[in-house]
Structure 1
């Protein structure tokens, strides 16, 4: 059975692009599920899949994060990876879908878990905002704060891979990917015209499709006046090539196989001299 991929809310489970990609498990918050039920559910996932890789935004409530760690502690298992991500909610959702795609490939659970750090560098996650007055996830200048009080002002913000903020209607543009991607976007209390008519063409997006806006997005971006978006690699063959191009190591602490500079299960770092980068030429515009 493939490694189980888990998320912390149902709205982070995006529809797959094929019939082979498995769905994701949802790890419920304490308000929605008792601790005993959470233990029982996790046991079922471990029995069916062997390993569980859970992705969650750094913005989830502390009680929810403590619950997941408590479940892992009580079960006394090293087969649960808890990956806390600084990505906005929709960025977490597209990354979770990519790991779901990889889970059916011939990769070990350790490689799938550590692939999250690698693939996150290729997720362009941002939002169109009606105000940046309460945005605290990326740097916002005093000038931008002042402009956010102007009627009708809108801002395009990139949170990953590098923070950027521009005022819509100016000469600046958001730095986009240099490789072919698809775009997922979810609307709050704003029109998505800028995202579909301006951003997507400038980024040479293959396909843009609307999804439900995750419940945690308004809090992450500091406003319900938001259209969140995330550009990502959709093709499993490209994802497979990208992950396969990185040298595999064995974690010196827990013994599981990994790629990159850190174990996804125990977080132990790899010695700097052993760090490997993906092979040149893996990603090229139009390759997907």
Structure 2
């Protein structure tokens, strides 16, 4: 079975782009499942898939993040990767879908886990907001804060990869710089009635396809308002994703022994150059504390 990709909420699982892409496992938070249930849930995934890669964005509740680390520690396994990826909710869901696509390829679990950091650089994520008064994810000037009190105000905000904010209809350059490669655009409507994302942003970014999806539950809290339309653009083609990951030199983690790309292991988070202590030369796949 392919490596399992996991999320903490079902609304972070976008529809599969084809019949070959597997779904994602949903690791239920503490409010929905007790610790014994979480251990059984995660243990069953490891038994079925061998390795588990879970995306852990910083906007998750601290109790949920603590539960993930507790389960990993109690199970005493190096086969669970907890990936700290800093993307907005819809951008996170898009990255999760790309990781799901890669699991059907001939990549090892270590390469898939460390590929998340690489792929996140190619995701453009933002939102159209009715107010930036409570937005704390990117810098907001006093002028923009003052404009937020207007009932008809709308702001184009890009959070990743380069922060950008502009008020629609103002003197600023409204359309944020988009990707210079082929993408599909996914958007989700909150309580803001606007067609700007599909009618203006998508053509300006020359996207190859547009898909509407339900708004993730955490989006309103992330953007500081429920008056929004969230969007995320990323590479949809599996062959392109494959070539992107395959073109990066593979290394072996000197701490846990798994394959990796980039400068950090996705499973144990050890940097590439970090050797294990001389007295801790244990076989790969054995549980050990985080370096």
State TM-score, norm by structure 2. Answer: 0.92
User: 2:269 maps to which residue?
Assistant: 267
TM-superposed CA distance for 1:57, in Å, is 2.1
Which stretches of structure 1, 4 residues or more, deviate above 4 A after TM superposition? none
1:72: which partner in 2?
72
**How far has the Cα of 1:192 moved from its partner?**
3.7
Deviation string, structure 1 residues 54-108 (Cα, Å, up to 9, x no partner)? 0132111100000000000000000000012210110110000000000110000
Q: Secondary structure at the match of 2:56?
A: strand
Q: CA offsets, 1:157-188, max 9 Å, x none?
A: 11111111111123402010000100100000
Q: What per-residue deviation string (whole Å, max 9, x for no partner) do you get for residues 208-242 of structure 1?
A: 11001000000000000010000010000000000
3-state SS of paired residue (2:220): helix
Structure 2: distance between partners of 1:85 and 1:147: 31
1:185 corresponds, among 184, 187, 190, to 187
5+ residue gaps, structure 2, are 275-291
1:262/1:29 CA distance change after superposition, 3 Å: same
Q: CA deviation at 1:115?
A: 0.4
Match of 1:104 in 2: 104
Please give the residue correspondences for 1:130-149 in structure 2 after superposition, counting only pairs within 5 Å: 130-149=130-149
CA separation in 1, counterparts of 2:268 and 2:143? 43
- In the TM superposition, residue 146 of structure 1 has moved relative to its aligned partner by 1.1
* Gap change, CA 1:244 and 1:192, over 3 Å in 2: farther
- Other-structure match for 1:200: 202
SS at match of 1:202: helix
2:226 maps to 224
Picking from 234, 248, 259, the partner of 1:257 is 259
Partner Cα distance (2:265, 2:58) in 1 = 18
Q: Distance in 2 between matches of 1:143 and 1:262?
A: 40
Post-superposition offset of 1:243: 0.2
* Alignment gaps of 5+ in structure 1: 273-288
Cα deviation 1:184-217 (Å, max 9, x = unaligned)? 0000001241101110000001111100100000
* Structure 1 Cα separation of the partners of residues 193 and 263 of structure 2: 40
Question: Number of aligned pairs?
Answer: 272
* SS of corresponding position for 1:258: strand
SS at 1:151 equivalent: coil
SS at structure 2 position matched to 1:85? coil
Indicate whether 1:213 and 2:227 are aligned: no
Query: What TM-score, normalized by structure 1, do the two folds share?
Result: 0.93
- Larger gyration radius, structure 1 or structure 2: 2
Residue aligning to 1:128: 128
**Is 2:155 aligned against 1:155?**
yes
How far apart, CA to CA, are the structure 1 residues paired with 2:137 and 2:168? 19
Aligned to 2:238: 236
Which SS does the other structure have where 1:230 is aligned? strand
Following the alignment from structure 1 to structure 2, what is the Cα–Cα distance between the partners of residues 262 and 125?
A: 24
Which piece of structure 1 moves more, 4-13 or 49-58? 49-58
- Aligned-pair RMSD on alpha carbons? 1.0
Distance 1:154 1:262 in 2: 39
